[in-house]
Amino acid sequence: MTDNITKILEKKEFTRSDLVILLNENSPDGIEKIRSKAYSIMKENIGEEVFLRGLIEFSNVCHNDCYYCGIRKSNKNIKRYTLEDKEIIESALWCAEQGYGSLVLQSGERQDKAFIDLVVNLVKKIKKETRSDKLPDGLGITLCVGEQSKDIYKQFFDAGAHRYLLRIETSNPELYKNLHPDLQSFHNRVKCLDYLKEVGFQVGTGVMIGLPHQTTEDLADDILFFKNYDIDMIGMGPFIVHKDTPLNYLFDVYLKKKRYIYELSLKMIAITRIFLKDVNIASTTALQAMYPMGREAGLMFGANVIMPLLTPNKVRKEYQLYDGKPCIDEFSNDCFDCIQLRIESTGRSVAFNVYGDSKHFTHK
């Protein structure tokens, strides 16, 4: 059977059904062929260095109610916080001093003016205060603050952010509907991706793997969506059930399918790498939440970005989108040493003091 996998991997172009066959491959030999092909394509197109983005989860206040998310507005079991500017700037300076080169500012979604002003001012301050000989324009900034109007995206871009993450979670509108209240539409999310591109951002998106009723055909369509929307950066992760959400009844099913979902997530990374070649792909913390070596495995399957957690220790446990998030009892220094060792254990090295932009974007 793996002869068929070899034949598909030798093709120049894949069809949707090729993608489905690769996603359905479960033999160790077949999976290793897919992984090895992904790794060599990564090496050839973008090299083996790993880019770091320090992740600061600066607020867990969210006005949305996504059914799968631990910080959804209806969850009363967490303490809401928004970090002080000073704390965020301190984390950003620490990030620059370690040579990370870039950070991600992430929060729940809000559209009120106070929030927009907060983000714009933070971006400006971080850009200014992290300038150095090594980073003359300051840290590279990726924003992950949800759906906004085109005008607001432009304000963020003009302030100095140049990458934006907005996950679609699934490219299947029906599955999307099952995961979100009616007010949150798939159509609007995709429209936001268009706005981000028009404004000039490097655009990242991503999906969850192992959603209820999701098929490997859906996942093949997700990969095709990334291609059709000319996406620059991808962050995919397994669907992990959170106990304080309306989907918590799926916990037993999740436990039974955990290994399958984990392997499918790694195959998604590899097949996306093979198909799209020069995009940035993150090895997400959710992989490590499933299995301790999950992030290293993501790197071996073709990912090239890691996002170490820089959120101050005192609030980490209040920002859990899914259960079992790792590193919530660590300090940033511990994470730094740990991440570097973890990356080097895969035979890869960290690229310090660079933005690590998506080659797919710079090739356009």
The residues of the shown chain that bind ligand SF4, judged by CB under 6 A, are 62, 64, 66, 69, 71-72, 108-109, 146, 321
Report the residue number, 321 or 350, with the smaller CB distance to ligand SF4. 321
Residues across the chain? 364
Report the residue number, 83 or 343, with the smaller CB distance to ligand SF4. 83
193: its two tokens: 């991706």
Least gap, CB of 320 to ligand SF4 (angstroms): 10
Least gap, CB of 184 to ligand SF4 (angstroms): 8
Sign of CA dihedral 165, 358, 235, 288: negative
Report the residue number, 189 or 360, with the smaller CB distance to ligand SF4. 189
Least gap, CB of 160 to ligand SF4 (angstroms): 23
Least gap, CB of 144 to ligand SF4 (angstroms): 9
Burial class (CB in 10 A: 0-12, 13-18, 19+), 113: exposed
268: its two tokens: 């998604």
Give residue for tokens 């962050």. 235
**Cβ contacts of residue 271 below 8 Å, gap of 6+?**
19, 22, 23, 34, 38, 223
Report the residue number, 73 or 257, with the smaller CB distance to ligand SF4. 73
Report the residue number, 53 or 127, with the smaller CB distance to ligand SF4. 53
Report the residue number, 72 or 162, with the smaller CB distance to ligand SF4. 72
Please count the other Cβ atoms lying within 10 Å of the Cβ belonging to residue 177: 14
Report the residue number, 152 or 276, with the smaller CB distance to ligand SF4. 152
Q: Is-contact 41 274, C-beta < 8 A?
A: yes
Least gap, CB of 188 to ligand SF4 (angstroms): 12
Q: Is-contact 85 122, C-beta < 8 A?
A: yes
Least gap, CB of 169 to ligand SF4 (angstroms): 8
Burial class (CB in 10 A: 0-12, 13-18, 19+), 252: exposed
Least gap, CB of 66 to ligand SF4 (angstroms): 3
Distance CA 25, CA 267 (A): 9
Q: Is-contact 327 285, C-beta < 8 A?
A: yes
